[in-house]
Amino acid sequence: MEEKKRGRPREYTTGQAAKVLSERLGRHVSTEQVRRWIASGKLGGSRLADSWYRTTDRDIAAFIEANTRKTLGKTLDRQHDAE
> Looking at the predicted structure, is the pLDDT value of residue 68 above 80?
no
Rounded CA separation 40/61 (Å): 17
**Predicted model pTM:** 0.71
Name the percent of the chain lying above pLDDT 90.
53
Parallel/antiparallel/unpaired status of strands 11-13 and 52-56? antiparallel
Which domains can be identified in the chain, with CATH numbers?
11-82 (1.10.1660)
pLDDT averaged over the chain?
Answer: 81
Q: Which of 40, 41, 44 is nearest to 17 (CA)?
A: 44
Q: Where are the beta strands (DSSP E) in the chain?
A: 11-13, 46-48, 52-56
Q: Which of 3, 30, 27 is nearest to 16 (CA)?
A: 30
